[in-house]
Structure 1
């Protein structure tokens, strides 16, 4: 099976894994710095088939949810591919979501089995106490501990339109929603990444994001399956080890989030000259990347950053800037690649370039819907197939999208809309600011007022009044933060995206 740059991939994850095992059997597919081991495509396929057969032997049916509660590791990669290979619905559990949200996901998904890292057992106990669930438990330490007497059956037959993935949204404004992807939409998401970044079998990704998040899973795990490349799977991001791992494992690209780029920019580590020459690009996603941070990173390290945009509902990427020497527009996550993107008015009519509205996407990578929530699915998907992203933005004449904020995060002060991203970018313009996020605070006079939170470079003597003055010089007093909170760290989700809506609660 060959990657067609003009057409989303056919078949299932099993089909693609079988093909890699048959034609690149001894090529390395995954490398694990935590234990120094590797996998080949054949070894991965054989282990996935074994896990799939074991799950089938437990009586689990095609399309049933099989949950994975595991940090990045060799076993997590094997477990993920095993569940997908077997025709089950891989239900990824966010390990930092908290016991209540984890228990809800296990219960709501109807998980028939759970592959659980033994180190997560205390968290699992708390989660099940909050929301009773009774999946078959398969403990995972150095191996998969199958229930005594469990047999092995042939992996179940399944097709491209069968369920493949169930991943829960962060649930910042209510209960998490379960996003369902088929094999077709899941592979289309990985294909978008592979095509946009011109990935080949010679490329090696560095994965430092959790694979229970859509960015880590579709971008750095599934895109190389389609391109035939390989992946260095790190247990977690480490600023002190990032460049050393890039060099030792010969990575040619990486996918991170803006907060990681900022921490690398402000850190002490430097890539070796061979690493600078080898790494074709870094990829930024999951949140807006401040132009000051992107420009600073590229000046310091000489590695281009490609800003992109994706959602759980679209199996990650929907927009991307091109690779150099193509036109990268700083401040934009790029143009549509592999799907269609429009900006809609409140009555869902397409808007002309330069007009702000809601960003919507249509393509093979769009989800099937939200599990057990037809009302939310109907609200998100229009009759003609557009997924409403909830992001505000505008298109320019070249088709590049400029994101101005989230509908739910927009600050409305005295009837005037203020995009938090504008404030963020002003704060990031100061070299001592590592993280920044503006947010709304309820007030009697204007309904809402602007506040912000920042983290600063160690040893910085920068004052809050200096930061407020910086904003007032750019926006005037009305749009500028009335208060700025200096924090050791800003709250983040599993991908490293700052959780803006939590800041008002944390700074009361």
Structure 2
């Protein structure tokens, strides 16, 4: 088979705008809890979210933000952030989340490039927002809000006449997300209402989620995973989400138990820290309601996958998604016996194929090439970058992901690396992940990332950065000797740096190209 046409490609379209999703929930289950903020104990029902969205609409009108214009958010996780995120899209404006990890100069470029009219920032982020605005030359207005509070109209606008804005259409832009920008300037990914609603449907269907499900939502809301998988998918299937301000390995299991969560949504870095933390069984925590742990945003080491399941007794469903695909692309099956460790799963909701880099021909099972995706969740394009869009999306709708991998005979995909991160040593293609997984077998290694560096003899040589587990020791010589036993001399890194941390993007994905620059 040349193209993996999953049995779920024909998932019923259903609601195709964020407003339609919200209105459906507010009518069908108005009093059901949608969001819980554990630090404050505050809750938000579906009707409460609809009321908050109406206030956001009125607020945007009061500030003169027209339909289709961009509104930026610089906020930590919480009730305010979710209300604004959903409310801006429901009001027919385009939401542009800003990373809390970015420096003012980085934010300034995004603010200017996006042309946002309004920026909502938490009180702790206000100084950063002001610095970014000063650097950008943008005329955007800054509104400082209480990150733990509810959306409120300013006194000056409280008496302004209000009529609900026109409903957005499925093809209208809903979300403008900027990629992490490990090389060059970040690109703005334009996702329509149809795109984000398709992503939400695919997540809900892949994991058979329903009204009784509650997710522990620890990923930051400025990342596509949290936006689609936790916020919008939960709105789609009518479940609920528990959203602490940030991830804490020490509080993680008690939150899951105390609030009776049924599934977890994490990234591999969090799994590594949980493995290095306290065993929940020592505290007698009840975790029997947990159905599964979903891992995405970066490949999960098979070593960590097996260790997590063995230690905590919770099955991991590894998945894969991209900003350009409104999160979901692949998912492992719900049935544990059908999952494959080391694979993000099968195509779900969309089509996928493997294409030869040189000829552009579709490759058979087992052959490695670039992964391409086509479906309702694929972005409209890159903002103000028609040439980039044309390079990324073919005339017949196939998205070039830049991910390298292959598909096996059962339709499961395996990722070997990123096109830009591929190491070519002496003419041989080497996937950095192969080096990572060898290093992670060492008992003292918590995290590892291999990368290529220029070399006069080979074209590129292999180097790696590692983070050691607290309380355990090793050195470069020992780690190189370990790699030689696991990989052979040719694939052993010529240098291994022991670091306090690896550079990561908003989702926790390691940014190898930043290691090259150091």
Pairs within 5 Å for 1:340-359? 340-346=351-357, 347-359=359-371
State yes or no: 1:169 paired with 2:169: no
After the TM superposition, which segments of 4 or more aligned residues of structure 1 sit over 6 Å from their partners?
Answer: none
SS of corresponding position for 2:457 = coil
Answer yes or no: is the 8 Å Cα contact 1:139–1:145 preserved in 2: no
State yes or no: 1:314 paired with 2:321: no
| Superposed CA offset, 1:431-459 (max 9, x none) | 32111100112222212111111111111
- Shift, 1:153, TM fit: 2.5
Aligned mate of 1:400, from 367, 388, 412: 412
| Superposed CA offset, 1:406-431 (max 9, x none) | 00001111211111000000011123
Answer yes or no: is the 8 Å Cα contact 1:56–1:155 preserved in 2: no
- Shift, 1:464, TM fit: 2.3
Counterpart residue number, 2:4: none
State yes or no: 1:430 paired with 2:442: yes
| Superposed CA offset, 1:189-233 (max 9, x none) | 111111111101110011111111001110011111111000011
Counterpart residue number, 2:400: 388
Counterpart residue number, 2:258: 248
Counterpart residue number, 1:464: 476
Counterpart residue number, 1:331: 342
Structure 2 CA distance for partners of 1:428 and 1:44, relative to 1, 3 Å: same
- The separation in 1 between residues aligned to 2:385 and 2:11, in whole angstroms, is 33
State yes or no: 1:53 paired with 2:53: no
Answer yes or no: is the 8 Å Cα contact 2:324–2:378 preserved in 1: yes
- The separation in 1 between residues aligned to 2:161 and 2:468, in whole angstroms, is 55
- The separation in 2 between residues aligned to 1:465 and 1:175, in whole angstroms, is 37
SS of corresponding position for 1:494 = coil
Answer yes or no: is the 8 Å Cα contact 1:439–1:452 preserved in 2: yes
Answer yes or no: is the 8 Å Cα contact 1:304–1:324 preserved in 2: no
Quote the RMSD (CA, aligned, Å): 1.6
Pairs within 5 Å for 1:89-108? 89-108=94-113
State yes or no: 1:440 paired with 2:452: yes
TM-score (norm 2): 0.94
- Shift, 1:128, TM fit: 1.8
State yes or no: 1:304 paired with 2:311: no
Answer yes or no: is the 8 Å Cα contact 2:371–2:404 preserved in 1: yes
| Superposed CA offset, 1:330-388 (max 9, x none) | 11000000000101112322111011100000000000000000011001001110000
Pairs within 5 Å for 1:92-241? 92-141=97-146, 142-144=149-151, 146=153, 149-150=156-157, 151-157=160-166, 158-241=168-251
- The separation in 2 between residues aligned to 1:468 and 1:219, in whole angstroms, is 39
SS of corresponding position for 1:442 = strand
- Shift, 1:504, TM fit: 2.2
Answer yes or no: is the 8 Å Cα contact 2:67–2:92 preserved in 1: yes
- The separation in 1 between residues aligned to 2:219 and 2:323, in whole angstroms, is 14
Answer yes or no: is the 8 Å Cα contact 1:257–1:284 preserved in 2: yes
Answer yes or no: is the 8 Å Cα contact 2:332–2:345 preserved in 1: yes
- Shift, 1:148, TM fit: 5.5
- The separation in 2 between residues aligned to 1:94 and 1:433, in whole angstroms, is 29
- The separation in 1 between residues aligned to 2:286 and 2:453, in whole angstroms, is 45
Gaps of 5+ in 2: 1-7
SS of corresponding position for 1:408 = helix
- Shift, 1:146, TM fit: 4.9
- The separation in 1 between residues aligned to 2:269 and 2:513, in whole angstroms, is 17
- The separation in 1 between residues aligned to 2:399 and 2:435, in whole angstroms, is 28
- The separation in 2 between residues aligned to 1:122 and 1:58, in whole angstroms, is 21
Answer yes or no: is the 8 Å Cα contact 2:254–2:285 preserved in 1: no
State yes or no: 1:34 paired with 2:44: no
Gaps of 5+ in 1: none
Counterpart residue number, 2:288: 277
Counterpart residue number, 1:288: 299
- Shift, 1:477, TM fit: 0.8
